[in-house]
Chains A and B, each alone.
Chain A
Amino acid sequence: MRDLNKILLVDDDPIFLTLAELAIKKERNKVEIFKAMNGEEAISFLKNQSVDIIFLDLNMPVMNGWEFLDVLPQIKNWGHKVYVLTSSIDPSDQRKADENPLVTSMLEKPLDRDKISSTLGV
């Protein structure tokens, strides 16, 4: 299995970003982690750089997760997989995630060891 070593975290909560980075780095050595505070920052990042995995929060200012997913197909070679990572319990979010072909699956925060294993591979 190919190493999934380029990861983009998109979330407006700086504490979550820090925690997620620490948690991933604890499980994996060879990873590069990039962070964006909202959809718009993530889009400008992806215009220059492709990644293997995106962990995407939904509720963000400026450009939220859904708006980000609307714009994402316009970028060539952005990467491979998008995981929605949220603490939302709104069933309509789950439904929208299931229906969106770009989304691999929807995960619930926090990002713990099991979720890192299942998304990045053992």
Chain B
Amino acid sequence: MDFNQLLESVNQNITEAVFRSDKDGLIYVNNAFVKMFGYSSDQEVLSSAISKMYKDPRDRARLITKLNADHSYENEEVVFLRKDNTEFVGLVSTIMHKDENGTVFWDGAIRDVTKEREFLDRIRHREQLLESINRNINEAIYRSENKMGIIYVNDEFVKMFGYDSAQEIMDLDPSDLYKNPTQRSEVGSEVIDKGSIENKEVEFRKKDGSTFWGYLNSITVKGVDGKVYFDGAIRNITKEKEAEQALMRHAEMQRILINLSTKYIDLPLAEVEQAINDSLRELGEFVGADRSYVFDFNLEKGICSNTYEWCGKDIKPEIQNNQNLPLEIMPELVNAHLKGNPLVVDDVEKVQKEDFKKLLKDQSIRSLMTMPMIHGNECVGFVGFDWVKMLHKATEKEIILLELFSEMLVNIRIRTQNERELHKLFSKTIEQNQRLKDFSYITSHNFRSSVANLVGLLTIIEDDPSNKEYFDMLKATALKLNLAIDAINDLLNFEKDISMLEKEEINLKEVINDIMLLNRKSATEKQIELEVDIPDDLTLRILPAYLQSILHNLITNAMKYGVTEEKRKIKICAKKESKEVLLTVADQGRGIDLERYGSKMFQLGSRFHADEESGHGMGLYMTKQQVEAINGRIEVESEINKGTTFKVYFNA
């Protein structure tokens, strides 16, 4: 094969434009050249000026300079002009030759790289776009591969995870980016199984160890190299999570508030205690406190006591240590509450007063919040939360919650108190009713037995009108009936409204003397030896009629049933004992078997002595009623054949 022929064939068939030129211009171009520059034939090209083919004439000058210096150049980028003046980018390479005659030629080739250039530009644009997206979006973008780990992260990724550079992350074990490192392989399997995951909530870990919640989106991509890549984006949803949690807390708080405000409305008294304990637990758990509690003030005694307490897990109760505390030991708290203000201590270490700080620290308290319970204008105590395990900064919502709870507690206590008083009144009414009923049976019984006797006696007197014995019996019966009627009058007087009567300052010794004067006759008859041991100046502020009646009953009882032939001593003593006056009436008579009769001692209609002087069973009953009506109490001590002592305690 002819070598020139082969050369020509190559020249005519390759896509590069091939040319030869000498100092006068082009002397050879191949078909590709003609086509590349938009001419119709090689002759047309060869007759055209080379300078017209450069867009910028300085390019030509630069290339000639380069050829003169180096005799060749390679892949110089030049913008050429076609015949129709359109542009294309070409890479041109040229070598200088010299023939035996010393004539200089330049042989060269041009490759049209317009398309490649456009392609590269497109890629460059895309890269730029990607870069720009990566820089500007708030999502962390990454690419990872099973063996290589993370191979790309954007700036946001570095920022979001708190690292210094992308390289630092790529050098990591990717599991370290998860709060729970094992979660990485789980997420990986899920992406492989499904091909992608969308907005999966994952808790990630930052370089400093703190964690955050993110939405993870990821897909698998098969790379040009055949490997499987995971491309993903992470959005930090800490704010959303916080908002969601805040919303949940808000809803929870609303629920607690509604619960609090409705729970106590119709609560039976017996369940109030439990309800308060439940609320303490619920509120304590809600605010994350370790203890919640109620303290009641006793301003009169200047003390306060812990009445209810809830403790979180592993927290030591303090209720036992917080009984009857003097108010002076915590003036900060007490003064704030007496003014109606809450007390908030975010950090006990910062408390100024050393003794108050010690008091709190002794209970391991690190933060606390207390709220006064205000009834009317008076502070009756406080409710509060303690934080033991960690410091706590009080929020406005917590303060509002505590305030509401405090109001609720005050209300329930007022209601409880009212109901208790009502209940007491009710019991008293029932008791009074029963007493009246008992009384009517007793009086009716007394009347009827006397009347029955009267009828019986009158019947026998009809048969035997001259029998004096029967007349004596008639008279005794009539007198007994009269006594029964007197007893009713006493009792009815006693049942009068006690508030209508007025108290007087009465000297106890004088009253006893008066009573002894009234009973002088029987005292003399029975040769009573009376011993009175009462300070001359001992007085009582009391209803005079009641005092007289009580003393009269006890003394006449002692004279009737407490003396024997040998033992005729009655001792009356009185002395002041702190807030009471104790009066005792003691005899040395036969005594009463308290084991047998103790429970009946003060009952209506009870009688203990089988003799002529036996009464209507009203004396001690009345005495006890009278003593209790003036808020005193009565006790009895007795021993068979040793004597009986009645003790009456009056409020001084």
- In the bound complex, do residue A88 and residue B452 qualify as a contact, i.e. CB atoms below 8 Å apart? no
Which of B444, B448, B476, B609 has most A Cβ within 10 Å?
B448
CA A54 – CA B542 in complex, angstroms?
50
- In the bound complex, do residue A12 and residue B614 qualify as a contact, i.e. CB atoms below 8 Å apart? yes
- In the bound complex, do residue B473 and residue A18 qualify as a contact, i.e. CB atoms below 8 Å apart? yes
CA A111 – CA B456 in complex, angstroms?
8
Select which of B448, B452, B473 is within 8 A of A89 by beta carbon.
Answer: B448
CA A105 – CA B455 in complex, angstroms?
23
Q: B41 contacts the other chain (Cβ, under 8 Å)?
A: no
- In the bound complex, do residue B460 and residue A22 qualify as a contact, i.e. CB atoms below 8 Å apart? yes
Q: A46 contacts the other chain (Cβ, under 8 Å)?
A: no
Contacts of B452 in A (CB 8 A): 16, 87, 109-110
Interface string of B69-100 (1 = CB under 8 A from A): 00000000000000000000000000000000
Contacts of A109 in B (CB 8 A): 448-449, 452
Contacts of A89 in B (CB 8 A): 441, 444-445, 448
Interface string of B444-471 (1 = CB under 8 A from A): 1100110011011100100000000000
Q: A121 contacts the other chain (Cβ, under 8 Å)?
A: no
**CB contact list, A73-120 vs B, under 8 A:** 86-90, 109-111
Shortest distance between the CB of B591 and any CB in chain A (Å): 14
- In the bound complex, do residue B448 and residue A19 qualify as a contact, i.e. CB atoms below 8 Å apart? no
- In the bound complex, do residue A88 and residue B453 qualify as a contact, i.e. CB atoms below 8 Å apart? no
CA A110 – CA B449 in complex, angstroms?
8
Q: B426 contacts the other chain (Cβ, under 8 Å)?
A: no
CA A89 – CA B298 in complex, angstroms?
52
Label chain B's interface by main secondary structure: helix
Select which of B445, B448, B610 is within 8 A of A12 by beta carbon.
Answer: B610
Q: A62 contacts the other chain (Cβ, under 8 Å)?
A: yes
Q: How large is the interface on A (under 10, 10 to 19, 20 to 34, 35 or more residues)?
A: 20 to 34
Contacts of A90 in B (CB 8 A): 441, 445
Given known contacts A12-B610, A61-B614, A23 and B456 CB-to-CB distance under 8 angstroms: yes
- In the bound complex, do residue B609 and residue A61 qualify as a contact, i.e. CB atoms below 8 Å apart? yes
Q: A13 contacts the other chain (Cβ, under 8 Å)?
A: yes
Q: B143 contacts the other chain (Cβ, under 8 Å)?
A: no
Given known contacts A19-B457, A37-B610, A88 and B473 CB-to-CB distance under 8 angstroms: no
CA A59 – CA B606 in complex, angstroms?
8
**CB contact list, B601-644 vs A, under 8 A:** 605, 607-610, 614, 617
Contacts of A61 in B (CB 8 A): 607-610, 614
Contacts of A20 in B (CB 8 A): 456
- In the bound complex, do residue B453 and residue A13 qualify as a contact, i.e. CB atoms below 8 Å apart? yes
**CB contact list, B512-526 vs A, under 8 A:** none
Q: B12 contacts the other chain (Cβ, under 8 Å)?
A: no
- In the bound complex, do residue B614 and residue A15 qualify as a contact, i.e. CB atoms below 8 Å apart? no
Q: B477 contacts the other chain (Cβ, under 8 Å)?
A: yes
Chain A, Cβ-Cβ closest to B593:
A62
- In the bound complex, do residue B449 and residue A87 qualify as a contact, i.e. CB atoms below 8 Å apart? yes
Label chain A's interface by main secondary structure: loop
CA A86 – CA B448 in complex, angstroms?
9
CA A57 – CA B456 in complex, angstroms?
17
- In the bound complex, do residue B614 and residue A19 qualify as a contact, i.e. CB atoms below 8 Å apart? no
- In the bound complex, do residue A15 and residue B610 qualify as a contact, i.e. CB atoms below 8 Å apart? no
Shortest distance between the CB of A9 and any CB in chain B (Å): 13
Chain A, Cβ-Cβ closest to B457:
A19
Contacts of B445 in A (CB 8 A): 59, 86-90
CA A1 – CA B184 in complex, angstroms?
112
CA A54 – CA B607 in complex, angstroms?
22
Select which of B453, B476, B605, B608 is within 8 A of A19 by beta carbon.
Answer: B453
- In the bound complex, do residue B608 and residue A62 qualify as a contact, i.e. CB atoms below 8 Å apart? yes
CA A110 – CA B441 in complex, angstroms?
17
**CB contact list, A14-47 vs B, under 8 A:** 15-16, 18-20, 22-23, 37-38, 41
Contacts of A22 in B (CB 8 A): 460
- In the bound complex, do residue A19 and residue B441 qualify as a contact, i.e. CB atoms below 8 Å apart? no
CA A61 – CA B473 in complex, angstroms?
21
Contacts of B614 in A (CB 8 A): 12, 61
- In the bound complex, do residue B456 and residue A19 qualify as a contact, i.e. CB atoms below 8 Å apart? yes
Shortest distance between the CB of B480 and any CB in chain A (Å): 8
Given known contacts A89-B448, A109-B448, A15 and B609 CB-to-CB distance under 8 angstroms: no
Contacts of B476 in A (CB 8 A): 15
Chain A, Cβ-Cβ closest to B441:
A90
Given known contacts A37-B610, A61-B608, A62-B608, A88 and B441 CB-to-CB distance under 8 angstroms: yes
- In the bound complex, do residue A110 and residue B609 qualify as a contact, i.e. CB atoms below 8 Å apart? no
Given known contacts A19-B453, A109-B449, A110-B452, A62 and B610 CB-to-CB distance under 8 angstroms: yes
CA A38 – CA B457 in complex, angstroms?
22
Interface string of B35-72 (1 = CB under 8 A from A): 00000000000000000000000000000000000000
- In the bound complex, do residue A15 and residue B460 qualify as a contact, i.e. CB atoms below 8 Å apart? no
- In the bound complex, do residue A110 and residue B610 qualify as a contact, i.e. CB atoms below 8 Å apart? no
- In the bound complex, do residue B608 and residue A110 qualify as a contact, i.e. CB atoms below 8 Å apart? no
Contacts of B457 in A (CB 8 A): 15, 19
CA A61 – CA B608 in complex, angstroms?
5
Contacts of B610 in A (CB 8 A): 12, 37-38, 41, 60-62
- In the bound complex, do residue B453 and residue A110 qualify as a contact, i.e. CB atoms below 8 Å apart? yes
- In the bound complex, do residue A15 and residue B608 qualify as a contact, i.e. CB atoms below 8 Å apart? no
Contacts of B448 in A (CB 8 A): 87, 89, 109
CA A38 – CA B607 in complex, angstroms?
11
Given known contacts A12-B610, A89-B448, A109-B448, A59 and B456 CB-to-CB distance under 8 angstroms: no
Contacts of B605 in A (CB 8 A): 59
CA A70 – CA B452 in complex, angstroms?
28
Given known contacts A61-B607, A61-B608, A61-B610, A15 and B441 CB-to-CB distance under 8 angstroms: no
Contacts of B608 in A (CB 8 A): 61-62
Contacts of A37 in B (CB 8 A): 610
Which of B473, B608, B614 has most A Cβ within 10 Å?
B614
CA A62 – CA B590 in complex, angstroms?
13
Shortest distance between the CB of A47 and any CB in chain B (Å): 18
Shortest distance between the CB of B488 and any CB in chain A (Å): 16
Given known contacts A12-B614, A15-B477, A16-B449, A110 and B456 CB-to-CB distance under 8 angstroms: yes
Which of A19, A23, A38, A90 has most B Cβ within 10 Å?
A19
CA A13 – CA B473 in complex, angstroms?
11
Shortest distance between the CB of B159 and any CB in chain A (Å): 92
Chain A, Cβ-Cβ closest to B597:
A62
Contacts of B441 in A (CB 8 A): 88-90
CA A12 – CA B476 in complex, angstroms?
15
Contacts of B444 in A (CB 8 A): 87, 89
Interface string of A39-73 (1 = CB under 8 A from B): 00100000000000000000111100000000000
22 contacts between A and B (CB under 8 A): A15-B453, A15-B473, A15-B476, A16-B453, A16-B456, A19-B453, A19-B456, A19-B457, A20-B456, A23-B456, A37-B610, A38-B610, A59-B617, A60-B607, A61-B608, A61-B614, A62-B608, A87-B452, A88-B445, A109-B448, A110-B452, A110-B455
Given contacts A61-B609, A62-B610, list 4 more A-B pairs with CB under 8 A. A15-B457, A19-B453, A37-B610, A87-B452
**4 closest A-B pairs by CB:** A87-B448, A110-B452, A19-B456, A61-B607
